[in-house]
C-alpha cells in the first residue's frame, strides 16, 4: 500500500521540493499570537475556514494536498523520535504561511483547539458542530456529512481509506476522554525534553487522533482541517514548556536511526533544521497567553465553581438558602463507593466532578507510526493513577471537570437524566425529570451536587497568592490545584 502513495504523488514531489521559506530567517515585522479558536469572532473563524477552502480548491495536487502527502511520507521521521515536536512545528508553520498567502492577511495565525478543556465530554464540544468542523462519520464508510469540509475529497490517503474526510468516534456516538488541564500541568513539570516529548506524544497528543478515529488516526490526517487546530495546541503546550525557566533551546533524545538528536538535524521533507524552529518567536508567532502577547481574556481559573455559583463575593457557606432552590425537580441520594470505584470509566459522561479514566490507545494506532506499546501502556497507567490522586483530593476540582463546563453540561442534560457527583468515597446520584436542559434545572443540579457533598467552595480555583515556581501551573489549575499537583507528582 505504501507504493500507492508514491505513484499518486509524483506530481506532488515537485511541490514538496519547491523552495521553502527558511524558518527563523530575518526579523519579524511583528510577533503575533495564535489564539484559542473559541475566542475568535465569527468573521475571524470564517477567515480560517475560507483560507483552507481556497487552498483546497487549487488545481490538484494543490498546496493543501501537499501537507497530507508530506505527513504520510515522513511518518517514521516525524513520530516517536526526538523530532516529533520540532517537525510538527515546522509543518504547522508552513501551513500558516500558506494560509497567510491564501487569506492575503499577513497577520493570520493558525488558531488552536484547547482539547484539554473539552476533555471530559469531547463530542459535546462546539468544535464538532455543523458550522465548524462537523461531527462523527456515518455508519459504514465513516465519511463525515456535516461541517464546513464535509464535501472535501482528499487526494492522498492511507491504504484503503475512502475518498472523503472520515471520523469514527471511539465510543460510538461519543468520544472517550482526552488528557485534562491537570495532565497538561503535570507534563509541564517534567524537566527533560525527551521525557516530556515522549509522554506528551504517546498519551495526550495520541488520544485526540485515536479517539476521533478513522481518517484522524491515519497518517494522512492533515487532510482533516481539525489536524491544524489540534497541532497548534500541541505546539502551544511545547511553547509553554519552553517558556519555563531556561528551556527554550532544550533538546535531547534520539533520531529515528538511533543517532543522538542535535539542533542541526534536518526536518525531513520540510527544510530547515531542528534548531531553526526552537525559538517559535523567530517564526513570528507566539500564543495568546504567553508573556508579552497576553491579551485581555479571562484565565482558566475564572471558570471555576466559585464563579459558576456566584459565591465569589462572600456568598459561600450560606447553604441553607441554596438547598431550597436546589431541591426543585431533582432527586438525590448519596451512596458510598468501594476504593476501586473512584475512577469513573472512560465512557461515563455523567460524572460532574471526577476526572475519567482514559481508554488505552488501540494497538493499530500505536504501531502505525512506530510507537512502543509497552511504553504507551506504562504512560497510560501513570495517567490513570494521577487521575485517581486528583479525584481523591477532598477540596480540589479540576478545571476540566464537567461542573466547570456549563456549556458541555447543558448539552449532556438534554441527553440524559441521571448525573453523579463524587467526592472521596461519597457519590451523590442525581436524577432529573426529562428535558432537564433548562438553565434553572442545570443550576439546581450543580447546587444539589455541591450541597449534598458539602463542598468547600472557598478552597476552589482562582484564589491564593502566586509563588515562584508555581506560576506555570496557576493559570491552568489555580494555586490550590498547583500545590496538589506538585504534591501528587512528587509522591
Ligand atoms: C519499549 O518500551 C519499554 C518500556 O519503556 C522499553 O523497556 C523497551 O526497551 C522499549 N522497546 C523498544 C524497542 O524501544
* Predicted pLDDT of residue 340: 78
- Give CA–CA dist 206/199, Å, rounded: 10
User: φ and ψ at 29, to 5 degrees?
Assistant: -60, -45
Please name the helix (run of DSSP H) or strand (run of DSSP E) that holds residue 10, with its range, or none: helix 10-16
Could you state, in order of their start, the residue ranges of all structural domains in the chain? 10-293, 306-340+392-490
CATH 1.10.1280.10 fits 10-293, yes or no: yes
Question: If you measure from the C-alpha of residue 372 to the centroid of ligand 1, how many angstroms do you get, rounded to a whole number?
Answer: 6
What is the rounded end-to-end Cα distance, in angstroms, of the chain?
47
**Residue ID of nearest Cα to ligand 1 atom 5:** 375
Task: Give, to the nearest 10 degrees, the angle between helix 42-56 and helix 84-103.
Answer: 100
Going from the Cα of 202 to the center of ligand 1, the distance in angstroms, rounded, reads: 13
The two beta strands, 426-431 and 418-423, are: antiparallel
The whole-number pLDDT of residue 410 equals 86
Q: Ligand 1 atom 12: the closest Cα is on which residue?
A: 372
Residue 169 burial by CB count (10 A; 0-12/13-18/19+): exposed, middle or buried? buried
- Would you give the DSSP letter of residue 201? I
Residues 6+ apart with CB under 8 A from 259: none
Q: Three-class SS of residue 121?
A: coil
Please spell the DSSP secondary structure of 292-358, one letter per residue.
GG--S---GGGGSHHHHHT-TTTTTT-HHHHHHHHHTT-EEEEEEPPGGGSS--TT---BSSSPPPP
pLDDT at 474: 59
pLDDT along the chain (491 residues), means of 10: 36 36 58 97 98 98 97 96 98 98 97 98 97 97 98 95 97 96 94 97 98 97 98 98 94 98 98 97 95 38 31 31 51 82 90 95 94 97 93 83 89 87 84 71 79 44 31 59 62 45
pLDDT at res. 293: 41
Q: What is the pLDDT of residue 21?
A: 39
> Looking up cell 536511526, which residue turns up?
257
Residue bearing the CA closest to ligand 1, atom 11: 372
Give the binding-site residues of ligand 1, using a 6 Å CB cut-off: 372, 374-375, 378
In this structure, what DSSP letter does residue 459 have?
Answer: G
Measured by CA distance, the residue closest to atom 14 of ligand 1 is 372
pTM (two decimals): 0.84
pLDDT of residue 26: 52
Q: How many Å apart are CA 320 and CA 326, to the nearest integer? A: 10
CA dist., res. 33 & res. 470, Å (int)? 23
Amino acid at each position: 500500500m505504501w507504493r500507492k502513495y508514491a505513484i499518486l504523488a509524483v506530481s506532488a514531489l515537485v511541490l514538496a521540493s519547491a523552495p521553502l521559506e527558511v524558518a527563523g530567517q530575518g526579523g519579524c515585522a511583528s510577533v503575533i499570537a495564535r489564539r484559542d479558536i473559541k475566542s475568535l469572532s465569527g468573521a475571524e473563524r470564517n477567515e480560517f475556514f475560507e483560507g483552507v477552502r481556497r487552498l483546497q480548491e487549487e488545481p490538484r495536487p494543490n498546496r493543501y494536498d501537499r501537507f497530507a502527502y508530506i505527513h504520510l511520507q515522513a511518518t517514521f521521521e516525524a513520530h516517536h523520535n526526538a523530532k516529533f515536536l520540532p517537525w510538527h512545528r515546522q509543518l504547522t508553520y508552513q501551513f500558516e504561511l500558506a494560509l497567510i498567502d491564501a487569506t492575503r492577511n499577513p497577520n493570520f495565525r493558525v488558531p488552536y483547539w484547547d482539547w484539554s478543556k473539552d476533555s471530559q465530554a469531547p463530542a459535546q464540544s462546539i468544535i464538532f458542530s455543523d458550522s465548524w468542523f462537523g461531527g462523527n462519520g456515518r455508519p459504514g464508510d465513516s465519511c463525515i456529512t456535516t461541517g464546513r469540509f464535509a464535501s472535501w475529497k482528499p487526494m492522498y490517503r492511507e491504504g484503503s481509506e475512502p475518498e472523503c474526510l472520515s471520523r469514527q468516534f471511539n465510543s460510538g456516538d461519543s468520544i472517550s476522554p482526552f488528557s485534562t488541564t491537570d495532565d497538561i500541568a503535570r507534563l509541564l513539570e517534567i524537566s527533560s525534553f525527551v521525557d516530556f516529548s515522549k509522554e506528551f506524544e504517546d498519551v495526550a497528543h495520541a488520544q485526540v487522533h485515536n479517539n476521533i478515529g478513522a481518517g484522524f488516526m491515519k497518517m494522512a490526517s492533515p487532510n482533516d482541517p481539525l489536524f491544524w487546530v489540534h497541532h497548534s495546541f500541541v505546539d502551544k503546550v511545547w511553547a509553554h514548556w519552553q517558556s519555563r525557566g531556561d528551556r527554550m533551546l532544550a533538546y535531547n533524545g534520539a533520531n529515528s536511526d538511533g543517532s543522538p538528536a542535535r539542533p542541526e538535524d534536518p526536518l525531513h521533507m520540510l527544510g530547515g533544521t531542528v534548531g531553526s524552529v526552537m525559538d517559535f518567536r523567530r517564526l513570528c508567532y507566539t500564543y495568546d497567553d504567553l508573556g508579552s502577547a497576553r491579551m485581555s481574556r479571562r484565565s482558566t481559573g475564572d471558570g471555576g465553581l466559585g464563579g459558576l455559583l456566584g459565591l465569589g463575593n462572600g456568598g459561600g457557606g450560606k447553604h441553607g438558602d441554596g438547598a431550597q432552590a436546589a431541591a426543585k425537580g431533582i432527586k438525590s441520594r448519596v451512596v458510598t463507593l468501594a476504593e476501586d470505584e473512584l475512577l469513573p470509566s472512560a465512557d461515563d459522561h455523567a460524572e460532574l466532578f471526577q476526572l475519567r479514566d482514559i481508554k488505552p490507545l488501540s494497538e493499530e494506532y500505536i504501531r502505525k507510526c512506530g510507537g512502543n506499546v509497552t511504553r504507551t501502556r506504562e504512560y497510560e497507567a501513570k495517567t490513570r493513577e494521577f487521575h485517581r490522586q486528583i479525584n481523591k483530593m477532598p477540596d480540589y476540582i479540576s478545571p476540566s471537570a464537567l461542573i466547570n463546563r456549563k456549556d458541555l453540561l447543558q448539552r449532556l442534560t438534554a441527553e440524559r437524566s441521571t448525573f453523579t457527583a463524587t467526592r472521596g468515597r461519597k457519590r451523590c446520584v442525581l436524577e432529573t425529570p426529562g428535558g432537564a436542559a433548562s438553565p434553572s434545572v442545570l443550576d439546581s443540579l450543580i447546587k444539589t451536587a455541591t450541597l449534598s457533598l458539602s463542598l468547600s467552595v472557598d478552597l476552589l480555583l482562582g484564589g491564593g497568592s502566586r509563588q515562584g515556581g508555581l506560576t506555570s501551573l496557576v493559570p491552568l489549575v489555580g494555586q490550590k490545584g498547583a500545590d496538589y499537583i506538585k504534591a501528587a507528582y512528587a509522591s
